[in-house]
């Protein structure tokens, strides 16, 4: 059982990170490449495939990657898509799983990036053993992963906890989503 590795994929508005993780949650190897520079989804997929191949060369002898998990902004795990990802120019519904699964060649699971962070904290971090907690993620955008009564709260489209586009000032700063006064324009790396 100690020969099992998982592939973690974090698609961020600025960078995408791909890592090999063992059962104890230890990061063994990783690759990073710019997401924001990929205006076309096909270009992103090529960069992903190149980095994935390089990372697979780092798999230690006798170990195997059995599955992958993706955390992505506005990810809808039920459709396998990124829904209206405002920090990307890839379209309204990006069919992420449809294109990533053939590259990875293993089972691939998708969740919202903040939910992925909450799951990591729940399994390996400061929230281990807790029944109720919230993880707030701050990066290019702003989000949260919520666990209540020992269950991850995803909502009907997997987007519960998406708080970056909550309006906090009606005549506030212009947001990339087209609205004004979104929390993300005040409390994120892009704000």
What was the pLDDT predicted at 13? 87
Distances (CA, A) of 138 to 70, 109, 143, 175: 18, 23, 7, 16
The pLDDT of residue 5 is above 60: yes
* CA-based nearest residue to 7, from 29, 24, 34, 32: 29
The pLDDT of residue 1 is above 60: no
Number of other residues whose CB lies within 10 A of the CB of residue 65:
17
Reduce the DSSP state of residue 58 to 3 states and report it. coil
The overall pTM is greater than 0.85? yes
Superfamily of domain 129-185: ATPase, nucleotide binding domain (3.30.420.40)
In the chain, CATH 3.30.420.40 covers 4-115, 129-185
φ and ψ of 132, to 5 deg: -140, 125
What gap in Å lies between CA 171 and CA 87, rounded to an integer?
21
Helices (H), the chain: 41-56, 96-104, 113-124
Domain 4-115: top CATH class:
alpha beta
Confidence of residue 124 (pLDDT cuts 50, 70, 90): very high
């Amino acid at each position: 059982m100690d020969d099992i590795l998982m592939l973690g994929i974090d698609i961020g508005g600025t960078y995408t990170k791909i890592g090999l993780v063992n059962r104890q949650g230890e990061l063994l190897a990783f690759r990073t490449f710019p997401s924001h520079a990929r205006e076309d989804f096909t270009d992103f997929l090529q960069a992903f495939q190149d980095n994935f191949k390089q990372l697979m060369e780092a798999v230690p002898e006798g170990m195997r990657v059995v599955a992958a998990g993706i955390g992505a902004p506005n990810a809808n795990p039920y459709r396998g898509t990124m829904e209206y990802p405002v920090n990307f120019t890839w379209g309204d519904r990006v069919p992420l799983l449809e294109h990533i699964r053939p590259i990875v060649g293993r089972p691939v699971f998708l969740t919202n990036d903040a939910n992925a962070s909450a799951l990591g904290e729940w399994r390996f971090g400061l929230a281990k053993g807790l029944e109720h907690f919230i993880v707030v993620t701050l990066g290019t955008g702003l989000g949260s992963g919520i666990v209540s009564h020992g269950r991850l709260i995803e909502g009907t489209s997997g987007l519960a906890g998406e708080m970056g586009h909550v309006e906090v000032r009606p005549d506030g700063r212009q947001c990339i989503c087209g609205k004004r006064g979104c929390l993300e324009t005040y409390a994120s790396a892009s704000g």
